[in-house]
Amino acid sequence: MKTFNVYQFNADPRLPTPLRQTLLETFEVCNEVLASFYVEVSNEVLAFARSRGLKNIVELGAGHAPLTRLLVDNPESHGLNFVICDLIPAVEQYQELELKYPGRVTALTESVDFSTTRAWPPSTLLVLCAAIHHVPTQKRPALVHALSLSADSVMVFAPVRKTWLSVLLAMAIIFPAIALPILLWKKPGRLRRVLWCWLVPVIPLIALWDGFGGSLRQWNEREWREVLAREAGEQREPFLKHWGNRQLVAW
């Protein structure tokens, strides 16, 4: 029997689709409307890809793909190709992007598990955004190993860090989760949001739990460096940076 990973709500196929959609929308509102996290991430990705002369950007665990949407929209990304995938792919959104940018965006509509090794083409940058905390700590070194074997370069972004300030700020996600139906009032899905954020307020509670656990489950710089030294291979040069509560690890 498959056990329930309490930090993996939005990648558990047993979570009903309307709940998953609403949960992802909550994160998107926080990272795109209330803060500029996705814009900051997209700038980092483009600068890194350019500096290393990489041609392909694969977004793993892409959710509804807000990041790839920003990347491909950016004139600076001209000449780069994008792939979007997830354990539970948002097929409609991915295909819509593929149609809008023919030849530049490839939508993988099958399930892609980023914890298993996969031979991506040469000159590929793998990007994980706000997703690594879903993998239990003890399984993460194997994930780092698998990612290192899978492509030339990897970037992992998190909108939170393992500090008490970040835990507190991340738990404030309960407010946008409660306000979600208002914040997205004009977008399709109004009744769904009213149901799951107000009438049966499961989303604010899951978001609160994810904010709390998502911060505590991050690695600090020392933990990252130790794991990268063991799992990423000697020829990789790790790059770590944090700004505010955000963090970036690349190798």
Query: What is the binding site for ligand SAM (CB under 6 A)?
Result: 10-11, 27-28, 60-63, 66-67, 86-88, 112-115, 129-131, 134
Residue nearest to ligand SAM (CB): 63
Residues near 31 by beta carbon (within 8 Å), at least 6 away in sequence: 37, 38, 66, 130, 159
Phi, psi for residue 85 in degrees, rounded to 5:
-160, 170
Counting Cβ atoms within 10 Å, is residue 187 exposed (0-12), middle (13-18) or buried (19+)? exposed
246, β-bridge pairs: 243
In the complex, least distance from residue 64 CB atom to ligand SAM, rounded to whole angstroms:
6
In the complex, least distance from residue 121 CB atom to ligand SAM, rounded to whole angstroms:
19
Strands 105-107 and 81-84: parallel
Between residues 172 and 229, which has the closer beta carbon with respect to ligand SAM? 172
Phi, psi for residue 7 in degrees, rounded to 5:
-105, 10
In the complex, least distance from residue 235 CB atom to ligand SAM, rounded to whole angstroms:
26
In the complex, least distance from residue 9 CB atom to ligand SAM, rounded to whole angstroms:
9
The label of the residue with tokens 């989303």 reads 203
Between residues 208 and 225, which has the closer beta carbon with respect to ligand SAM? 208
Between residues 82 and 103, which has the closer beta carbon with respect to ligand SAM? 82
Between residues 27 and 219, which has the closer beta carbon with respect to ligand SAM? 27
Between residues 34 and 88, which has the closer beta carbon with respect to ligand SAM? 88
